[in-house]
Amino acid sequence: MAVTQLKLSNFRNLAALTLAVPQNAAVVALVGPNGVGKTSVLEALSLFTPTRGLLGAEGKAQIRHGQKEWGLWAAFTNHESRITDHEIGQTFRKAERLLHVDGHKQALEGLAKLHTILWLTPATDFLFSGPPAGRRRWLDDATTALIPAHAQAVARFAQHRQARLKLLVQGRADDWLEAEEKLCAEWGIQVLRHRQEYLAALVPHLGSSLTLQLAGNALAVLEDADPVMALKGKFERSRDIDTRMERTHAGPNTLEVTGHLTLEDGTTTTLAQASSGQHKRGLIHWLVAHVQLLKTHLKQPPVVLIDEFSAHLDAARRGQLLTTLGKLGCQVWLTDTEAPALPHAHIIRLDEV
């Protein structure tokens, strides 16, 4: 898929912006000085997924100062047919993202069935050295691209987990709490299974240089004859500590995502202990493997967003990455302060738009 038109209103620092992209543009480079809204455009594109986007921000934080809502609209075109497949509009108002696809209102999770979008940002460069919540969010976004139902499972698990905590803090040990723990366990098992399914499907595309795996006690429930009741039992046993700490100590929200990278000399390092350059190579390796996975299973390469393009890799490796993504059929949107030396890129100078 490719984005051929994009319109924004009252989004971040952008009052209004309309961009048109040639249908054959495999690389779209957003160029200009700091502060003109390059990252804001990428963030807007990332919100055409059922996630909180590449910055993980709340919708109200994305509204331009002094305004009450933001709006986004984009046309997605199939690379092969060159015919607009979908026109997608979104608004955020009164703490809710509202979605319309081809003029019809849809649930946000429906975006996962239409196309896939993934991204690299400067923050991603510290993914495995930062808090585990960031790695779980990254894994869930990747899993949703392969398994659209995962978006709903993650959202429902979070909803019932929060409802359970509220009942615990209120001192409600009754049928409502029992029901919330059952629902929390049912959706939690789906989240665990989807994550495992994604990683299992990714392995053949990773080769031998990178391994990714889940770690944590919550995985043990999947080996039980009745995983849902096993996870529900964990919730019941952790009621006291969860009440005191106002945090859930069992379930998919406690899992860790680990990675190991094989270096040129044959030695292995964890991504958490890797150098900055090694960590970036590991993430690029995952990115390419993920694209290959989606193309194999969904027959549809994703749109790839790369913020601060020249900060990720040296010139030679940047060229190799774009060549690889181009051969896989991806449309790439990137940002930089100077126009990249790419002969076939469609350059958009945001300070001149």
The range of the structural domain enclosing residue 232 comes to: 131-297
Cβ neighbours of 30 (radius 10 Å) = 25
Q: Which whole-number Å values give the CA distances from 231 to 185, 195, 298, in the listed order?
A: 6, 16, 32
45 lies in some domain: yes
What is the C-alpha to C-alpha distance for residues 268 and 259, in angstroms, rounded to an integer? 10
Q: Any idea what the CATH number is for the domain that residue 207 is in? A: 1.20.1050.90
124 lies in some domain: no
Please state the φ and ψ torsions of residue 22, each to the nearest 5 degrees.
Answer: -55, 145
Which pLDDT belongs to residue 352? Answer: 78
Instruction: Indicate if 83 and 227 belong to the same structural domain.
Output: no
What is the C-alpha to C-alpha distance for residues 263 and 244, in angstroms, rounded to an integer? 45
Instruction: Indicate if 235 and 104 belong to the same structural domain.
Output: no
Instruction: Indicate if 175 and 305 belong to the same structural domain.
Output: no
Which pLDDT belongs to residue 316? Answer: 82
Q: How many residues does the chain have?
A: 353
Instruction: Indicate if 198 and 108 belong to the same structural domain.
Output: no
Instruction: Indicate if 246 and 323 belong to the same structural domain.
Output: no
Looking at 281, 297, 313, which one is the last position of a domain? 297
pTM of the model: 0.89
Instruction: Indicate if 305 and 161 belong to the same structural domain.
Output: no
Instruction: Indicate if 345 and 224 belong to the same structural domain.
Output: no
CB 106 within 8 Å of CB 87? no
Which pLDDT belongs to residue 82? Answer: 54
Instruction: Indicate if 282 and 318 belong to the same structural domain.
Output: no
- Structural domain count, the chain: 2
Which residue in 124, 122, 100, 103 sits closest to 111, CA to CA? 100
Instruction: Indicate if 74 and 167 belong to the same structural domain.
Output: no
Mean pLDDT by 10 residues, the chain (353 residues): 93 94 90 92 94 89 94 84 77 92 89 87 86 92 92 94 94 88 97 97 92 93 96 95 93 94 90 89 91 89 90 80 90 88 85 77
126 lies in some domain: no
Q: Any idea what the CATH number is for the domain that residue 316 is in? A: 3.40.50.300
Instruction: Indicate if 164 and 232 belong to the same structural domain.
Output: yes
Instruction: Indicate if 293 and 313 belong to the same structural domain.
Output: no
